[in-house]
């Protein structure tokens, strides 16, 4: 059963007020129950590997350097990769009340984007990877300050938490910038396909248009459209052929050639696989104006072929 798990290990002696930062270092086990909490939580996988269950979803494989920002009320738990105690999964948990964030904004020169960054993630967790180990070093320092509690440790805990959040904000902005750049690069590819879909478009040609290696391009293109380059071009060709079948009296062989298929039988096989019917049956079924096709959108939101009758 889920429980307010942090209530069991955050004591009033650890957090004297609601305006402090708490951190612990946990050897995760198979006994920890799913738990929620009333704080923003930042997890840092310090050692080992394992799995992270968030809001009852499928487990996420985690390893050293993985970072999670969990909003208030998120249900989660960790599990080690194995029961072997020589391969422990150790996670830092830093928590603080959300009320601290606007207070920081009013009293310190923190980036104005910081509060919006955490507000935008209030409904969903965020996941990052420590690029160079520097964020892990901040967690190490925080934990030592918290355990030893030297003079001014609460101030250093707060400043370290801000430093971690700023570094994560930078990572988020870098990711968003890369996504914008990727979208811009793919726009050239989509426009090229729109003009040349009836021609052979090698993977290297598309990758060159995006200024990416073929392997990297394939990953990005599939992430953006949900399809491979070949599937995307096939879908566009079949969609164009559907339109021609409904709006012209051209022979099927001519339509096949016009959309890029020299082999009529190959065209017919792909057409049936994509639409569930043959080109001739499709033409008989849909009169002019009754077919509503959908060329693949850049975000992959359309289906392969959508057919509707009036």
In a domain, 228, yes or no: yes
In a domain, 165, yes or no: yes
In a domain, 241, yes or no: yes
Residues 221 and 285 in one domain: yes
In a domain, 187, yes or no: no
**CATH number of the domain within which 242 lies:** 1.10.10.60
Confidence of residue 294 (pLDDT cuts 50, 70, 90): low
How many domains is the chain partitioned into structurally? 2
The alpha-helical segments, DSSP class H, found in 43-152 are 100-107, 113-120, 134-148
Residues 225 and 85 in one domain: no
CA within 13 Å, CB half, 50? 24
pLDDT at 156: 94
pLDDT at 291: 58
Instruction: Name the residue range of residue 39's domain.
Output: 3-177
Question: What gap in Å lies between CA 31 and CA 37, rounded to an integer?
Answer: 18
Residues 165 and 210 in one domain: no
Residues 246 and 155 in one domain: no
Residues 126 and 231 in one domain: no
Question: What gap in Å lies between CA 236 and CA 232, rounded to an integer?
Answer: 6
Each residue's pLDDT tens digit, 59-106: 999 999 999 999 988 999 999 999 887 889 999 999 999 888 888 888
Each residue's pLDDT tens digit, 264-289: 999 999 999 999 999 999 998 886 45
Model pTM score: 0.61
Q: Does residue 73 come out as left (phi exceeding 0), alpha (psi in the -120 to 50 range) or beta?
A: left
Residues 208 and 167 in one domain: no
């Amino acid at each position: 059963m889920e429980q307010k798990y942090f209530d069991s290990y955050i004591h009033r002696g650890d957090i004297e007020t609601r305006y402090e930062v708490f951190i612990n270092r946990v050897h995760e086990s198979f006994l920890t129950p799913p738990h929620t909490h009333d704080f923003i939580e930042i997890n840092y996988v310090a050692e080992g590997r394992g799995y992270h269950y968030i809001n009852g979803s499928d487990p996420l494989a985690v390893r050293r350097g993985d970072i999670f920002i969990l909003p208030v009320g998120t249900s989660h738990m960790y599990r080690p990769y194995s029961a072997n105690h020589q391969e422990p999964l150790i996670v830092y948990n830093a928590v603080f009340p959300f009320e601290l964030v606007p207070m920081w904004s009013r009293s310190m020169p923190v980036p104005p984007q910081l509060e919006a960054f955490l507000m935008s993630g209030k409904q969903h967790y965020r996941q990052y990877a420590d690029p160079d180990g520097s964020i892990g070093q901040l967690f190490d320092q925080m934990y030592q300050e918290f355990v030893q509690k030297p003079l001014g440790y609460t101030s250093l805990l707060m400043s370290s938490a801000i430093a971690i959040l700023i570094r994560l904000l930078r990572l988020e902005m870098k990711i968003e910038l890369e996504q914008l750049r990727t979208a811009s690069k793919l726009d050239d590819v989509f426009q090229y396909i729109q003009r040349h879909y009836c021609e052979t478009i090698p993977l290297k040609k598309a990758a060159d248009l995006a200024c990416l290696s073929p392997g990297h391009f394939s990953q990005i293109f599939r992430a953006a459209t949900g399809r491979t380059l070949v599937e995307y071009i096939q879908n566009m060709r079949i969609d164009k052929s559907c339109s021609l079948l409904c709006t012209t009296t051209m022979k099927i062989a001519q339509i096949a050639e016009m959309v890029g298929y020299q082999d009529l039988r190959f065209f017919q096989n792909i057409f049936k696989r994509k639409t569930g019917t043959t080109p001739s049956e499709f033409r008989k079924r849909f009169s002019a104006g009754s077919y509503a096709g959908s060329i693949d959108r850049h975000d992959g939101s359309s289906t392969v072929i959508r057919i509707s009758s009036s």
